Amino acid sequence: MGDDWGRDEAGEAGCSGCERRLNASHSDHARLLLSRFVAMSAFLGVRPIVGAACIALLIAACGREPAPAPANVVLVTVDTLRADRVSFDRYALPTTPFLASLAEEGVVFEQAYAPSSWTPPSMASLFTSVYPTTHGVTSGGIRDGAAHRQPVLGERFVTLAELAREAGYLTIGVPANRHLSEELGFGQGFDHYYGEAGFLKASEVNREVLRLMQAAFGPNWRLERKRHKLFLWVHYFDPHDPYVPYEPWTRVYDPGFRRDDPQSPAFLIMKDLQKRFPEITPELRARIGRLYDAEIRRFDDHFAALWQELGFGDETLLVMTADHGEAMGERGRLGHSHSLHEEQIHVPFLARWPERLPRGLRIDEPVGILDVYPTLAELMGAPIPESARGRSLVPLFEEGFDPSAQARTVPLYYELHRPRTPTTGLRSGRWKLLVERRKRGERRQLFDLEADRGELRDVSAEHPELLERLTAQAEAWREALERGEAETRELTDPETLEQLRAMGYVE
């Protein structure tokens, strides 16, 4: 490994989390979870799960023999990773050889989508299976006079980690993105959490995972962890800007790179990069692409090392996806969070669990990362709250499933909120509608993704009836959407503010 892969820097031994798991009364957890479900259902204006008669559901699946749950669940999310740059999604370069080898033994969703194009709304949706308007985590920093405030993921939601905990898993989370910190509500349900300020590189992420494994299971964690069910979430950050060269990866993917080259886009945060290069030339796109690829490979190599270090095998369910993509000059834009076009929301998504899932299956039905929550809930044997707006993908794995019977009938929706141009997106079969609500009026665009994956040609004028029908569908969906306002928290820690400033999130 070419940089500081820190396997020996784990912290103090101790087992507070598993003690708590082992000692806590299951019925206490069930009662707490039930009260949260009822509160969440009331907030969302829906019936509490399946009614009082099925309270026992919280402990056992209703009327069905539960299938064996995975021994471990590993959820890997990668910041800013667009689907068409991972090698298991047919990219020409081997950016993710390790993931590609896992993908051969699992299921790849070739059309997977984030509900928004940046971290807080997307990840809050992944963890709650509700759309951004409902959880309300739709903006980043909010300036309130001199104060810097950020929305917090509300406690009224039962997060995926809470479901996992209820299903008997010890939960560990290591997010490398400052916007996913404990104080912003993303630590809910985790027994052990890297909740500090920080944008970590892959080697630091791995080090934190190993530290928390020791904290959870003690010095003999390699043996000890096998006596528990583990839910591990790891969020890597490497492909996010600034595009930073690291050896040996840059040498392979960008052999001509020179640190002193004034024309290099390396090291610049997006805001500065855009200022420095107002014109996006093909050469700039290629340079950014090479640095981006090297960072993806760096993540893949580190994740491979972590997987091996933790000793996971076929008993472990792995789900890997991303919070959003990245524009590489499409429509004259770089970065993300400013539109809902494919390059910013189409993400990789694979699931591997050789003991139960099919091997080598590729599914091209559009799915959303909101589906991760109900899918994992079903596989872990946890109840799926009625509030979940995603769907379990388990039926798609099952033998005899006929994609043509259901194919492309389940619509997907996307959202972008202020301070960006408020936009609603709808994917229905081959069609994608985008409705931008601008100051000077609405702008509607319709794309045929089967004929035009890059969304280069707006076909609204050719399909006026379809345009009206999909607009009405998107509007009806938006009208019916439960609205939640997230509370905000003032960030005061100077180090946090400095890190946010360094990344361009705070002026």
| Binding span for Zn ion by CB under 5 A among 128-136, 162-170, 302-310, 323-331 | 323-331
Interface with Zn ion, residue 79, by CB under 5 A: yes
Given the complex with Zn ion, which of 257 and 505 has the nearer CB atom?
A: 505
Rounded (5°) CA angle 152-232-358: 120
Q: What are the angstrom distances between the C-alpha of 340 and each of 49, 411, 478?
A: 32, 15, 16
**Count, residues in the chain:** 507
Minimum Å distance from CB 68 to Zn ion?
A: 34
Question: What is the closest distance, in whole angstroms, from the C-beta atom of residue 333 to Zn ion in the complex?
Answer: 16
Torsion of CA 204, 205, 209, 214, to 10 degrees: 10
- Cα angle, residue 494 at apex, residues 177 and 193 outer, rounded to 5°: 35
User: For residues 236 and 353, which CB has a smaller minimum distance to Zn ion in the complex?
Assistant: 236
Which among 115-123, 186-194, 224-232, 278-286 is the span making contact with Zn ion, rule CB under 5 A? Answer: 115-123
Identify the residue among 77, 119, 128, 206 touching Zn ion (CB under 5 A): 119
Closest to Zn ion by CB, 58 vs 124, is 124
- We find the least distance from the C-beta atom of residue 321 to Zn ion, in angstroms, to be 12
When the beta carbons of 72 and 339 are compared against Zn ion, the nearer one is 339
**Per-residue binding letters, 80-109, with Zn ion (x by CB under 5 A):** ------------------------------
- Taking the CB of residue 304, how many other CB atoms lie within 10 A of it? 17
Tokens linked to 464: 């006026």
Determine if 166 is a binding residue for Zn ion (CB under 5 A). Answer: no
Least distance from Zn ion to the Cβ atom of residue 136, Å: 18
| Per-residue mark of binding to Zn ion, 469-488 (x: CB under 5 A) | --------------------
Cα 304 off chain centre by = 19
Which segment (21-29, 59-67, 74-82, 497-505) binds Zn ion by CB under 5 A? 74-82
- Give min distance, CB of 82 to Zn ion, in A: 11
> Applying CB under 5 A, what is the total number of residues that bind Zn ion?
3
Q: How far is the CB of 505 from Zn ion (least distance, A)?
A: 12
343 binds Zn ion (CB under 5 A): no
CB 364, CB 111: distance < 8 Å:
yes
Cα 375 from Cα 172, distance rounded (Å): 19
Q: Choose between 211 and 324: whose C-beta lies nearer to Zn ion.
A: 324
**Cβ at position 323, least distance to Zn ion in Å:** 4
What would the two tokens of residue 273 be? 């990069």
**Given the complex with Zn ion, which of 202 and 379 has the nearer CB atom?**
202
| DSSP-derived secondary structure letter, 225 | G
Relative orientation angle of helices 282-310 and 202-217, to the nearest 10 degrees = 20
Chain positions 42 to 61 lying near Zn ion, rule: CB under 5 A, are none
Contacting residue, 323, 330, 342, 415, with Zn ion by CB under 5 A: 323
Q: Report d(CA 121, CA 139) in Å as an integer.
A: 8
Q: What are phi and psi of 62, to 5 degrees?
A: -75, 115
Query: Both tokens of residue 208?
Result: 């934190």
* Contact in structure between 376 and 164 (CB atoms under 8 Å): yes
Q: By beta-carbon distance, which residue lies closest to Zn ion?
A: 119
The window from 118-126, 191-199, 212-220, 402-410 that contacts Zn ion (CB under 5 A) reads 118-126
Is residue 486 within 8 Å of residue 154, measured between CB atoms?
yes
Give dist(CA 21, CA 157) in Å, integer.
Answer: 21
Strands 334-335 and 107-109: unpaired
Cβ proximity to Zn ion: between 5 and 113 the closer is: 113
Stretch that binds Zn ion, among 4-12, 40-48, 75-83, 395-403 (CB under 5 A): 75-83
Helix or strand run (H / E) with residue 144: strand 142-144
Using CB under 5 A, list all residues that contact Zn ion.
79, 119, 323
